[in-house]
Structure 1
Amino acid sequence: MTQVRTLTAPAAARSRTALPTARRTRPVTVALAPAALALALGLWGIRRGNSMWRDESTTYQIAHRDLPEIVRLLGNADVAHGVYYLLMHAVFALWDGGLLALRLPSVLAMAAAAAGVGLLGHRLAGPRAGLAAGLVFPLAPAAQRYAQEGRSYALVCAAVIAATHLLLSAVARPRKRTWTAYAAVATLACLLHEFAVLAVLAHGVALHRARVPAALGWAWGRAAAVVAVVLSPLVIVSQQQAALVGWISRPGPPELLGFGVLALIGLGCARARLPSRGPLPLRALALPLLLVPPATLLAASYVHPLYVDRYVLYAHVGLALLLGAALERLARARRAVAGGLAVLSVAALLPYSVQLRTPQSRLDDPLAAARAVRELTRPGDGVLFLPARRREPIMSSPGDFRGLRELALARPAIPSGTLHGIELPAPAVRARMLTAGRIATVNDPPGQPVDDTPQERVKREVLVRYFQRCAVRDVTGMRIVLYARPGRC
């Protein structure tokens, strides 16, 4: 018998209004509009006044080393970013475009991530929710910040989003090749930054919350096991280099407040009656992506401090999905209110967005420090870095130090296979300093703790005892001081 389906009047009205909406908001629009917004925001002020902060400086100078030199370095330091450095080495080999080449991969990755968020929202909650989520994501302050940084975090976001799409496809139509692709892309995300493994954990929590069949849970478990096996050598080596993240402290009120605010916004959105139509409920996927990675890393950091918000930047994907679905529901009920909220939010973000594109928005600026050294010195002067790890200015802009003598360096970074080079023993540093008439020093800003190594102690002692200050130049995150023998300023 043929069944005839009848619609009530309200249902028929909803059917008539929903169809044109779906036609108006096509998947290509859901992807391209967020990508265009992210691209525009990424290219806006991309040079940041010709500034570069210390992490970008590290990327820049390592990516310019030869392949054997990069491999040698990774055996000693920064192996966690090794895949990214190799990628950037290839970028600079194709086009050595300075700051543009350094940051453009992140801009393009964030544009792809925004498109991916839009399409995720489309699959989970419909085209309008997807479009809203895709537009919210690149406007987030953290997304704007790391879209313009020569580091791996935007690429990790894009890879995590691609893996999430593959997870949805595997749930909707379980196939071996889909799970294989999921494992491959998730592995790539983890190789770009090992804490992307927390996104894989969030995927497992999402499947549990959605109460998928046991066969799907086992399939995810096998894929996650592959990721863990491939990642384990990187984790072992990076743990041996853990001193490099010794600067990270245990989470305090700022970190907890930052996570708490985002979590409360996401949980507030999740309480609404959100549209859901995908292979997984939107809440079941978005909430674990938002909460599990940062919460897990925060908890672990009370035992071994590792939490930095950019390490789990992809958690903003979950927030964008929840906000997009909530905005779509609000727009259905009160279009004017939703539009007003959107305008107010953009207006509130504008001052931060402008400030984000200035040199002062980052921790420091090695390029500005290099220019200050050049302006304060003359050929034959000595130069010292206090502490030795503040050598980013000379490594990123060696031309500004031409004609100066490095008084403490025994072996440069590249021949020694290190990040910053190896310094002479303290007695040799002292002897070299006493041969100089003038010395320019590159220092941390005032108020920072000083290193208590023999070399650092002798640098400070000789400067105080035998030299006088001639000039001080403060730049973003660093202080340049010119010293001279008495009467030679």
Structure 2
Amino acid sequence: MRNTPVAGDDGTLAAPPGTTAAPPGTVRRAGRLARSVPLAVPALVSLALGLWGIDRHDSMWRDESVTYQVAHRSLGDLWGLLGHIDAVHGLYYLLMHAVFAVWEGGGLVALRLPSTVATALAVAGVGAIGARLAGRLAGTLAGLVLAVLPVTQQYAQEGRSYALVTAGVTWATYFFVRAAGDLRGAGGVHAAEKPRTGNPPPGADVRPGGGSPDRWWVAYALALGIAAWLHEFAVLAPAAHGLTLWWARATRRMWFGWGIAAGCATAALLPLVVVSAGQAEQQLGWLGRPGPSAWLQFVAVSAAGALLCRLLLRAGSADALVRLSLPLLIAPTGLLMTVSLVKPWYVDRYVLYGMTGLALPAGAVLARAIGRRHRLAPVPRAPAACLTAVVAVAVLLPWSLLVRSPQSRKDDVVAVAHAVERTARQGDAVLFMPSRRREWLLSYPRIHDRLDDLALARPPASSRTLQGTELPASEIRRRILAAHRVIALTDPPGQPLDPFPEEKVKRQLLSEDFEVCERVPLLGAQLLVYARPGHCRPVVPP
């Protein structure tokens, strides 16, 4: 029989009777190493996945282009922009401004690396939560589940704030768990919720001396406040935490601590709410109400999470994890979709952090399946585990490859800029139809400045806008009629046409006074070369 270390009264490892005890320093190092596994292993896997193909075949879509060109503005121009639009992303833009100030030549890697690192932090946070509530194996597997989800991999390589918001909410949730006494019946949860056996899950990190709940509530408020300043809809996370406390039958003290912390985080957000409220129409005016497909997706994901939680409850394990996960998965998304029936504000990436509520029970279920004692001998179980791993890779690999391709986004700014560079001649003019598609060239000023932008009145920085301001329809008409060759950058055929007079005059004059010389279809865009009738030159292949 092997001499296996046993746990002492203080939670540290001790040598079994009749053996020589290991040095205390060795035991402590071994304990720290074991406790770091649920954080480190998923984080390293997430980091590797994020760095894999981070340039996405040298592509960038228009939302990332906004980040790129805004982050390169001066602090004065950036501050002026936030007073007019995009205040909700202000903290993120300031962060990216600092990134490019330090790493000017970083290009697409610098644009996406903060999201890659933030995803690794979020995955580590899920591992920490899972280890705390269901054991180290469950925490490790939960972190790995979140890391390999295609939606996680997508936003780990996105030059926007959503991965950073997920990291902030995830660690706020960890601090919430610590402040609430792990939701296990200790530190404020009703005594009826204590585990039947009185023992924590195997491998759970329940060391004594966790510190006063007050400091964890302070950490919770800070993490939540940062996440909300990165994107306001992070403020929906406390609603999920409140449901968790209700489900766990928390004491008044826990409700008081949570209420003060969540209230402080919300109060700190009020200046941003006041500014962004005046920008809501132009910021979110393009959104429609959630359609049947969005509701179906929400119901399917929620049902999957509920099924996983049901399996855990039937097994009589990880009750606290269930109470935490299910509200986090359902409440923020459900609230935002419900509000969007009146005020269309819902986009799934705005509540991306809800996916942690799916990863946590998935990791716990996997851990239970691995830890169960089967009647099967170890030899047959090994091939079964290998087969499961092969099936998982076969299912996930196509999705992983897809999110690293240009086709995974709505358009490709880089491809549009390169097409314009190949097509444009000296003296050519350019029109963006609609005007917001000017974003396709704003991250490439070297190319944009070669062309005569017929409709542009004031450029983005000086006008404190994202895409600049355009001339009135009469002036656009005069300038188009004076042009001889125009490159038009438009949406693909079949997209809705803007009804504004400025857009109507562009379409009318190009169709009546010019002819199409060349049409170049692109991902989410098309390039059309117009010239006066009879002045089209044959296109010479490169």
TM tier, smaller: over 0.9
TM score, norm. by length of structure 1: 0.92
Within the alignment, does 1:433 sit opposite 2:441 as a pair? no
Equivalent residue, structure 2, for 1:145: 154
1:6-405 alignment, distance < 5 Å:
26-96=34-104, 97-172=106-181, 174-242=212-280, 243-273=282-312, 281-333=320-372, 340-405=387-452
**Alpha-carbon distance in structure 1 between the residues aligned to 2:509 and 2:357:** 55
Look up the match of 2:23. none
Partner SS for 1:313: helix
* Contact 1:430/1:462, CA 8 A, preserved across alignment: yes
Structure-2 residue corresponding to 1:464? 511
Please give the alpha-carbon distance, in whole angstroms, between the structure 2 residues aligned to 1:221 and 1:342: 43
SS in 2 for 1:26: helix
Q: Does structure 2 conserve the Cα–Cα contact (< 8 Å) formed by 1:463 and 1:483?
A: yes
1:330–1:338 contact (8 Å) kept in structure 2: no
2:463 matched to which residue of 1?
416
The 8 Å contact of residues 312 and 322 in structure 2, kept in 1 or not, is answered as: no
Aligned mates of 2:396, 2:534 — CA distance in 1: 52
Q: Secondary structure at the match of 2:180?
A: helix
Say which SS state the counterpart of residue 519 (structure 2) adopts.
strand
User: Unaligned regions of 5+ residues in structure 2, if any?
Assistant: 1-15, 17-29, 182-210, 375-380, 537-542
Shift of 1:24: 12
Match of 1:4 in 2: none
Contact 2:427 2:451 survives alignment (8 Å) = yes
**Counterpart-to-counterpart distance in 1, 2:32 and 2:95:** 39
Letter in structure 1 aligned against 2:132: R
Please report how far the alpha carbon of residue 142 of structure 1 lies from its aligned counterpart in structure 2 after TM superposition. Answer: 0.8
Q: Which of 338-347 and 446-455 deviates more? A: 338-347
- Measured at CA, do residues 345 and 93 of structure 1 come closer, stay the same or move farther in structure 2, by a change above 3 Å? same
Residue 236 of structure 1: CA displacement?
2.3
User: Which has the larger Rg?
Assistant: 2
TM-fit CA distance, 1:340: 4.1
TM-score by length of 2: 0.83
Residue 176 of structure 1 deviates from its aligned partner by 2.6
The one-letter code matched in structure 2 to 1:377 is A
> Within 2, Cα distance between the matches of 1:276 and 1:197?
32
The root-mean-square deviation of aligned C-alpha atoms, in Å, is: 1.9
Task: Name the aligned partner's letter for residue 272 of structure 2.
Answer: L
Deviation at 1:341, TM superposition (A): 3.8
C-alpha distance in 1, partners of 2:316/2:220?
23
* Partner Cα distance (1:258, 1:174) in 2: 41
Unaligned segments of structure 1, at least 5 residues:
1-15, 17-21
SS at match of 1:106: helix
Q: Which runs of 4+ in 1 moved over 6 A?
A: 22-25, 275-278
SS at match of 2:312: coil
Structure 2 distance, partners of 1:246, 1:62, is: 21
For the 8 Å contact 1:390–1:442, the answer to whether it is kept is yes
Q: What does the per-residue CA deviation read over 1:106-127, in whole Å, with 9 as the maximum and x for residues that have no partner? A: 0011111111111111001001
| Secondary structure class of the residue paired with 2:529 | strand
Asked whether the 8 Å contact 2:442–2:448 carries over to 1, the reply is no
> Which amino acid in structure 2 is aligned with residue 35 of structure 1?
A
Shift of residue 23, structure 1, vs aligned partner: 7.4
Distance 2:405 2:255 in 1: 47
The CA deviation at 1:31 is 1.3
| Displacement after TM superposition at 1:339 (Å) | 5.7
Matched residues in 2 for 1:342 and 1:218: separation? 45
Whether contact under 8 Å (1:331, 1:339) holds in the other structure is no
How far apart are 1:419 and its partner, in Å? 0.7
Structure 1 residues 408 and 276, CA gap change in structure 2 (3 angstroms): farther
The DSSP-based 3-state class of the residue aligned with 1:391 is: helix
Equivalent residues of 1:129, 1:324 under 8 A apart: yes
Distance 1:117 1:343 in 2: 24
Residue pair 1:126, 1:277 contacting (<8 A) in 2 also: no
Stretch of structure 1 that moved more, 429-438 or 22-31: 22-31
1:318, distance to aligned residue in structure 2 (A):
0.9
Contact 2:337 2:346 in 1 (8 A): yes
Deviation per CA, 1:400-436: give whole Å up to 9, x if none. Answer: 2342111010100000101110101111101111111
Distance (Å, rounded) in 2 between the aligned partners of 1:388 and 1:329: 55
Counterparts of 2:395 and 2:235, CA distance in 1: 34
Q: Deviations over 1:453-481 (max 9, x none)?
A: 11101111110111000001111111110
Q: Deviations over 1:86-109 (max 9, x none)?
A: 000000001021101000000011
Displacement after TM superposition at 1:36 (Å): 1.1
Distance in 1 separating the partners of 2:219 and 2:120: 22
Question: What's the counterpart of residue 203 of structure 2?
Answer: none
Write the distance in 1 (CA, Å) between the matches of 2:500 and 2:230. Answer: 33
How many residue pairs get aligned? The number is: 468
CA displacement 1:151-184 (0-9 Å, x = unmatched)? 0011111111111111122122543332122111
1:30-64 deviations in whole A, cap 9, x for unaligned?
11110111011101111111110011000000000
SS of alignment partner, residue 115 of structure 1: helix
CA distance in 1, matches of 2:166, 2:294: 20
Q: 2-side partners of 1:272 and 1:143: how far apart?
A: 24
Structure 2 residue identity aligned to 1:212: A
Conserved? CA contact 1:331–1:338, under 8 Å: no
Q: Residues of 2 paired with 1:442 and 1:449: CA distance?
A: 15
**How much does 1:269 deviate?**
0.7
Q: Give the secondary-structure state (helix, strand or coil) at the position aligned to 2:391.
A: helix
Distance 1:405 1:158 in 2: 43
Q: Give the secondary structure class of the aligned counterpart of 1:99.
A: helix
For 2:7, the equivalent position in structure 1 comes to none
